[in-house]
Structure 1
Amino acid sequence: MLFPIFVIATLSEIYVLVTVGDSIGAGNTILLVIITAFIGSYLLKQQGISTLKKVQNAAAQGKNPSFEMLEGVVIMVSGILLLTPGFITDFIGLLGLMPWSRAYFLTSFLQKNTDKIFTSAQFQKSSHNPKWGNPTNNAPQDSNAIDGEFWEEDKNKLDR
């Protein structure tokens, strides 16, 4: 199913590049593709840092940063699209880097797919052995535990 999509996308990119090249010239087309890559790199850095700060703020406030993390995934994919030569991928990549379009896309995606995402999760019994202690509690179970250090010394060095 993905192969025909990649073939159609590649042929569409080539068609658009050739059409734009015929209109404004090959040199200007190449220059325009390079300029969009630089603009995309700048926006990728700016939006990536902004989203990282959002994730950190949400985590610091005890909130679930899942929406912000999904934004990070969209930003990463958009950056890859912007670095790929072509005007169609550049347009889609720029849409992914714009905060308003990214929020709209993610909100509509989550509204349509939340049931699929959460109903497909499976929960299984843990294989935890209770004799090994509580996996979330790293405190020693025995109050008589002694903490210490050791080191090995080479006997040959001591005999000299």
Structure 2
Amino acid sequence: MPVFVLLLVMMLAEIAVIVAVGQAIGALVTVGLLVAVSVVGVAMLRRQGTRTLAAFGDAVRNRRDPQPQMVDGMLVGVAAGLVLFPGFVSDVLALLLLFPPTRAVVRRRVLRRAEQRRPTQVFVVDSEVVHPEPPEPIVIDSTREDRP
């Protein structure tokens, strides 16, 4: 239920901001500005997404912890969703997530929160691996009828 309320508040805020900007600068300029901000957002999204993917591959190849790059990828994905959501508020939030310094602040908070939520107890289950016996080979005995 809170997600629904958040989306409803977000939609109302977007409509209010669009109406306010439209009254201040005109409807046609407002639509042009919405399109321009979305185009800039998509361009930044492509660039930052490519950088994040390259950094993740580099971390895996060099056997470093890929968690920061994974969180960056998640945040770039959230920014992609926000860019697709029409309006100024969502576009500004998306651009903040695409801008590396502000994304680093959000990444640190996400990683800190994930660390706090990680369970401290580890359960080890004692088990034994049993390999089944290989099946007997299948032998096909056939004769050709055209040869004696």
List aligned pairs for 1:120-135, cutoff 5 A: 123=123, 125=125, 130-132=129-131
Q: State how far apart, in whole Å, the 2-side matches of 1:72 and 1:123 are.
A: 30
**TM-score, normalised relative to structure 1:** 0.75
Aligned partner letter, 2:130 = K
Runs of 4+ more than 6 Å apart: none
Unaligned runs of 5+ in 1: 134-141, 143-154
Tell me the equivalent position of 1:47. 48
Aligned residues of 1:95 and 1:102 also touching (Cα < 8 A): yes
Q: State how far apart, in whole Å, the 2-side matches of 1:15 and 1:125 are.
A: 56
**TM-score, normalised relative to structure 2:** 0.81
Q: State how far apart, in whole Å, the 1-side matches of 2:98 and 2:122 are.
A: 33
Change in 2 beyond 3 A, CA 1:8/1:45: same
Query: What per-residue deviation string (whole Å, max 9, x for no partner) do you get for residues 51-109 of structure 1?
Result: 11110111111112111011001001101101211010011000000000000111123
Larger RCO (CA within 8 A; separation ≥ 6): 2
Aligned-pair Cα RMSD in Å: 2.7
Q: State how far apart, in whole Å, the 2-side matches of 1:121 and 1:103 are.
A: 29
Does 1:86 find its partner at 2:87?
Answer: yes
Shift of 1:120: 7.5
Unaligned runs of 5+ in 2: 135-142
Aligned residues, how many? 137
Q: State how far apart, in whole Å, the 2-side matches of 1:121 and 1:49 are.
A: 37
Percent identity, aligned pairs only, is: 29
Aligned partner letter, 1:62 = R
